[in-house]
Structure 1
């Protein structure tokens, strides 16, 4: 493994002020040489994960894109962004592409690279958000575009605590209780979703270069304490206009499959995780929390009605 320093000009572009920055995210204490704008600086005594700038060994032949395992460990290679070496589940070595923006490097660092760290540490990251209601957490799970962030934004507007957006990390304590860990304190919303909420994108950070998706900080999300997870709702589409709320219980292997399919960066598990443990964790989660399918209208006209019907049905 190579831990060499990058040239001063390259380092200063990403880290202009100090040697390291301390954070907490997904229940992990993080010490980073790269300033991470999406996270809130938090003093830590020691780090579970260290992020360093350095050279990442290149594949001997044609270097593949995505995640692959080399002799130095798992390496995530993203075109025009950079290469990330995942070392021993407690270190990420980052070699940014010469022309990569700090925004794009951070996006993949806190996204796919951290997904690899989470799987390496045998945690269960879901493609879901998590919201605290009455002291317990519920999660909305689904693929990109299913409306997870838009739902989270509605709950944030109405005074609910948002534990995580897009990635919800689930952990189990010694008593077998499932908990949702606090994630990145921001929402990612498309421009049309901002417009519906009467918010201008002016002053907001673009999530990725060239995309009309923007980051909104989550106000009041400073607590890093995990919250007991009570229910998971798989977002689905309700065909046809109806005033009836469509919530269907999902159980057995269908529930296990739903958790497995919606595992964040689940394709990493065969490479760096434990497939048997992953399936066991998916099964355990379905035995500990309620899993349902929440079918709703996928347009902004019915959004408010559907969410209020959901709350009156599930939390009367």
Structure 2
């Protein structure tokens, strides 16, 4: 009996070490998404159910991005992306939060509306939610998946719905939901974000796919020296945006759904918050004032419940 108990304890310890090892592998893979990159964007429509559908031209673009870990706790890693244009222009770009075993998802519906959805415990265990935010830290999409580490490969996959991509939302009105198939995997040069997307018309009668699309966003590491101005710019801006994240967190925490408005007084939400960030830096606002002014602006654009 003592021998059986001893063997069982060894098995339990082995399982514990294995689980911890997997968790640390997950964290290391997520943190490796940060760094200094040249990013290339390639998208092409590949199939349409309607033979009369006219395929849109392929999309290709590139730029430089600095991805910074702005929060690192055991079960949450937050990475802020900055877009660098030339030697003296920086744009606060998208942000991704990775949260371990989060029990809810803020799911995109349509018409700039997101709804909080509860997940089953079995669907959460051992998995990470990637929460993607727009440039003003408003919601974009959230999805859940498992990091897999096998044969030297490190990858994560998920499916979720989102608004139209930035490359199309000002140009197209023939669909209103992008049903994303996301795959992120590490490469020797950096990492790849591969997509298999459906362009969907969502209505009261259901979903109708008008086209499918393949996408590749390749992040290739480059020399850190390219980002000297970006470092200086972010040093002045990061305090405001940390406070803005806290303001947004309060909005997300207390509301079951969020609907974003378009322009107010001729300006979009990101324009208002970017202006606040500049004022905060120039006038040296306190964290409390940052949050107070940010909440005022957010409340003007967000219809929450």
TM-score by length of 2: 0.26
Higher helix residue share: 2
Higher strand residue share: 2
TM-score by length of 1: 0.25
